[in-house]
Structure 1
Amino acid sequence: MKLEESQTSVDRLPAEQRRISQDSGTERPFSGAYNDDEEPGISVEVVAGEPLFASTDKFDSGSGWPSFTKPTAPANVNELRDTTHGMVRTKVRLVHPDGHLGHVFPDGPSNQGGLRYCINSASLRLIPRDDMESEGHGAYLDQTEEA
């Protein structure tokens, strides 16, 4: 995605999505559109549409944010040290264009790698499994379940 296309996409975001995805904000727990969503598909980043997480890797962590065991395309995700708010955490950001997704914690399901990617719904757009092919994400169909 070219820089000018990226900025146009950012400019189209509603204010709350822009605050979270571009300014490292956080949505209130249990308020995000995808926290309780169980539809098969793939979650992509709201600006660039880069694939991030498959529905088969989503689990209910009880945290109030959508939680995943691993990224679908690890090359799209940066993990950075975050010492804000008096804590030491690992921030998760999109590689390009740079966008805030959430945090990763080492308290996920141990039988699936032990990680919990705790992601803001406002940073995601869900592409239902039935639309993945037409939206250019057919390569990830094997990482989702049929409804």
Structure 2
Amino acid sequence: MGGYSAINNFLGNGTSDIKGGKYENRSDAFHDGYEQKYGDNYNLGQAATLFFGFGKQNSKSNPNKNIGKVHGNSKLSTKVQHGYEIVNVKTGEILEYGISGQTLRKDGSSSPRIDQKIRTKYNNDPNVKGNVLEKEIPGRQKALEWEINKVSEYINTYGQKPVKQIKP
């Protein structure tokens, strides 16, 4: 039941006497109770929203209805993303791959995210440059898959991740 760790962290772990000791922890009881009320086809995030009282949903709301805007970094985000690489222009070495949902510059060559990364992670090193490789990736999940594929290709070629690659 690892998918309930946020609820476990909030409610606490340990043996619970909820429903006569049927559950190992309170999140399992919460999960089962919500499932019994709304059936198998429910969204755990929405269940937690109802349970913890966040959002504007009330008892008359449909639990399967989208609660609100999805964060841009969520895998559920449908916002167009772009994929980029950060390279050392002096050596030609690819330092890392990344993705972003920030708007590209008018010429499509860069984005504020690439500039920010060069400024903060690479201390404005004049030998480091960012290149947009893929401009119109439809949604965050596809962008994450693109990034994983680029890193996997790199590993297959060089036997390791790019030197500054943190995720994936």
TM-score by length of 2: 0.26
- Greater RCO (Cα-Cα under 8 Å, separation 6 or more): 1
Which structure is higher in strand share? 1
Which structure is higher in helix share? 2
For the pair shown, the structure with the greater C-alpha radius of gyration is 2
